[in-house]
């Protein structure tokens, strides 16, 4: 909650004090967890559980407790506090430096954060018997490995470049879709977003929507906080960010209440978490069925907004009867594929390329093969190589994402693993509950959410990511399902 407050509400002048507060809390929690008496309690609890034939969830709970302690014991408390303070300060500095396109200004702070991350990674790698990068990855993707990521990303790389070429050429031949002209007032965008969130099952008695520099979802299951950023020239950007974060929120709200405050009751890693957000954003909200519902609702939302005066003429944004509000036009805009610079605005076909680039760069920084000072050039070269575009500045390049400046290394691969997870879960859900499509066409997801509650949310961390996916879909993570989804939506124009 302190993190949300810092991002959404706190004045900039409170940054130093907030950094100290968060560092102190993390250090105290760390010291409690590494106390040798806690280790004795866990060993005793494990013996009792095995002897008494404890339920599977109880054993999984102990697994998660031991995993938490293993991570904590590997790192000295003072290092935890230093990393927390440095990351909080760097995140605040990044906000201003990004807007000013000033990578050189934030470089010293980033270098400090990376140095501490590398110390933590080295300590954990030695304790776990893994590589430094895999030790960091395990914080976000329990049991994950760079070897498995390399295999999956290599499989994606065999078909994605050609697919991007095919789709871009197909859409170029069709011509650019008509787009309603803004500005789209932020308050009208917020009202529309809240209406969509309610249809998706978001409970405003246990959550809220705010504005921040970077969209995110945080808080606790009883109090879920979503933030987004708005663009008055393109209402889809803010809306799609909202529905993405709503997917995260629905997962948090659906975690088993009986296991609250138990580690086993937490979400099962970030590839599953990103799978929930991308399922809602990509599988549901960019589908033909949903966009058919959204088109008239969106037009109504902005027709009802206060009129704007332009060139002496009073009118409402984008209300010309030129077909730009039609379902077909909205669908073409929401599924437009382009080699763009900004990850959070990328389409689902090119999005994996953004993630693969970041994975390569952060792994190189953690391994010491890439100095942070060389990050802007490596970013430009890498994006040109993998996607054929080059950022004109650092604001649209290596300054665009918050993760590294907030000390989060090892997170990025989970986005694309999540995209594959989303396609696989949605495929299974739709086969199990055929009425899902009709409900999406009405702007709601009752049957889909019920299926996710049963097969994903209610499991918490009682299963490994692999076992969770196998139980829910009948197979481990399969890039082929993701490929078929993309080909069906973007090459054959079939409803997804």
| Phi-psi sector, 210: left (phi>0), alpha (psi -120 to 50), beta | beta
Residue 310's CB is within 10 A of a number of other CB atoms, namely 11
Token pair 């960091």 is found at 136
- My answer on whether omega of the bond before 183 falls inside 30° of 0, hence cis, is yes
Neighbours of 115 (CB within 10 A): 14
The whole-number mean pLDDT for each consecutive block of 10 residues of the chain, a chain of 496 residues, reads 88 89 90 95 97 96 96 93 92 93 98 98 97 96 95 95 96 92 95 98 96 89 95 94 97 97 96 97 96 96 69 50 88 94 92 97 98 98 95 97 96 96 98 96 97 98 97 96 96 68
Supply the pLDDT for residue 307.
58
Instruction: Return d(Cα 75, Cα 438) in angstroms, integer.
Output: 51
CATH architecture of 153-348+413-490: Orthogonal Bundle (1.10)
Summarised one tens digit per residue, pLDDT across range 434-475 is: 999 999 999 999 999 999 999 999 999 999 999 999 999 999
Q: Which of 252-289 are b and which e, b meaning 16 or more Cβ less than 10 Å from the residue's Cβ?
A: bbbbbeebeebbbbbbbbbbbbbbbbbbbbbbbbbbbb
Of 275, 293, 288, which Cα lies nearest the Cα of 442? 293
Place of tokens 């803010």: 238
Strands 216-220 and 207-211: unpaired
pLDDT of 320: 59
Predicted confidence at residue 306, as pLDDT, reads 62
Instruction: Write out pLDDT tens, residues 104-132.
Output: 999 999 999 999 999 999 999 999 999 99
The three-state DSSP-derived secondary structure of 291-356 is HHHHHHHHHHHHHCCCCEEECCEEECCCCCCCCCCCHHHHHHHHCCCCCCCCHHHCCCCCHHHHHH
| CA-to-CA dists, residue 209 to 11, 49, 238, angstroms | 18, 42, 12
Tokens of 337: 């594929």
Pairing of strands 223-228, 207-211: parallel
Residue closest to 198 by CA, chosen among 13, 443, 430: 443
Selection from 287, 279, 229 nearest residue 249 by Cα: 279
- Predicted pLDDT at 16: 87
* CB-based contact 265:460 (threshold 8 Å): yes
| Look-up of token digits 């190189």 | 364
**∠ CA 446-451-456 to the nearest 5 degrees?**
130
- Which residues touch 63 (CB under 8 Å, ≥6 apart)? 264
Choose, from 245, 252, 274, 439, the residue flagged as catalytic. Answer: 245
Neighbours of 50 (CB within 10 A): 11
Told to judge if 245 belongs to the known catalytic residues of this protein, a careful annotator would answer yes
Report how far Cα 202 is from the mean position of its chain's Cα atoms: 17
CA gap 261, 265 in Å, rounded: 7
Positive or negative, the CA dihedral 70, 470, 250, 262 is negative
Which H helix or E strand runs over 220? strand 216-220
> What is the Cα–Cα distance from 108 to 315, expressed in whole angstroms?
49
- What are the residue ranges spanned by the domains of the chain? 2-152, 153-348+413-490
Q: Which residue is associated with the tokens 């809220």? A: 208
Q: Give the integer Cα–Cα distance in Å for 86 and 20.
A: 10
pLDDT of residue 3: 86
**Separation CA 132–CA 198 (nearest Å):** 42
């Amino acid at each position: 909650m302190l993190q949300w407050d810092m991002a959404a509400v706190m004045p900039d002048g409170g940054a130093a004090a907030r950094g100290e507060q968060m560092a102190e809390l993390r250090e105290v929690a760390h010291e409690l967890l590494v106390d040798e008496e806690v280790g004795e309690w866990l060993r005793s609890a494990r013996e009792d559980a095995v002897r008494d034939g404890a339920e599977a969830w109880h054993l999984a709970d102990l697994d998660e407790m031991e995993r938490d302690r293993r991570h904590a014991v590997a790192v000295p408390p003072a290092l935890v506090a230093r990393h927390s303070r440095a990351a909080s300060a760097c995140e605040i500095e990044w906000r201003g430096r990004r807007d000013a396109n000033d990578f050189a200004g934030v470089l010293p702070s980033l270098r400090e954060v990376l140095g501490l991350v590398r110390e933590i990674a080295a300590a954990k790698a030695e304790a776990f018997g893994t590589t430094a990068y895999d030790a960091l990855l395990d914080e976000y993707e329990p049991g994950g490995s760079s070897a498995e990521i390399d295999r999956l990303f290599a499989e994606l790389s065999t078909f994605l470049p050609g697919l991007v070429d095919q789709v871009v050429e197909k859409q170029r031949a069709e011509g650019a879709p008509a787009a309603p002209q803004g500005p789209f007032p932020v308050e009208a965008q917020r009202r529309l977003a809240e209406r969509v969130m309610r249809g998706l099952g978001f409970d405003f008695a246990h959550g809220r929507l705010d504005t921040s520099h970077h969209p995110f979802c945080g808080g606790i299951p009883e109090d879920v906080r979503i933030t987004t950023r708005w663009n008055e020239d393109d209402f889809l950007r803010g809306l799609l960010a909202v529905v993405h974060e709503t997917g995260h929120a629905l997962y948090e709200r659906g975690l088993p209440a009986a296991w609250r405050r138990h580690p086993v009751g937490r979400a099962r890693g970030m590839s599953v978490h990103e799978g929930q957000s991308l399922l809602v954003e990509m599988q549901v909200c960019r589908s033909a069925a949903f966009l058919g519902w959204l088109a008239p609702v969106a037009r109504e939302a902005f027709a009802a907004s206060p009129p704007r005066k332009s060139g002496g003429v009073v009118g409402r944004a984008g209300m010309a009867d030129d077909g730009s509000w039609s379902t077909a036009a909205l669908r073409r805009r929401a599924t437009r594929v382009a080699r763009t610079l900004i990850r959070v605005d990328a389409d689902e076909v090119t999005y994996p390329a953004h993630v693969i680039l970041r994975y390569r760069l952060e792994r190189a920084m953690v391994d010491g093969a890439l100095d942070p000072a060389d990050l802007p050039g490596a970013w430009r070269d890498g994006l040109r190589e993998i996607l054929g575009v080059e950022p004109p500045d650092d604001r649209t390049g290596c300054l665009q994402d918050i993760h590294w400046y907030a000390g989060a290394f090892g997170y990025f691969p989970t986005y694309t693993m999540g995209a594959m997870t989303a396609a696989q879960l949605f495929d299974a859900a739709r086969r199990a509950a055929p009425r899902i499509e009709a409900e999406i066409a009405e702007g709601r997801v009752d049957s889909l959410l019920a299926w996710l509650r049963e097969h994903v949310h209610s499991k918490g961390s009682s299963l490994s990511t692999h076992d969770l996916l196998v139980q829910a879909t009948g197979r481990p993570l399969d890039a082929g399902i993701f490929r078929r989804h993309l080909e069906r939506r973007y090459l054959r124009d079939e409803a997804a």
